[in-house]
Amino acid sequence: MTEIKREIDKIARAVEQFAGAPITEQDVGYGLDDILHVVLHEYCHGVVAKKVPWINNLEPRVHAFVDEILARFVEMEVAPKVSLAVSGYESQLRELMTCGFQVTLQGWTDIRRAWYSLYREENNLEGAARYLMELYHRGDIDLRRCPAASCLA
Q: What tens digit of pLDDT does each residue of 84-141 get?
A: 988 887 888 888 888 777 777 888 888 999 999 999 999 999 999 999 999 888 877 7
Name the pTM for this structure: 0.84
Which candidate, 132, 150, 149, 128, places its Cα nearest to that of 141? 132
Which candidate, 30, 31, 11, places its Cα nearest to that of 19? 11
The answer to whether the beta carbons of residues 40 and 84 sit under 8 Å apart is yes
Provide the pLDDT for residue 104: 79
The answer to whether the beta carbons of residues 41 and 99 sit under 8 Å apart is no
Which candidate, 128, 91, 137, 85, places its Cα nearest to that of 110? 128
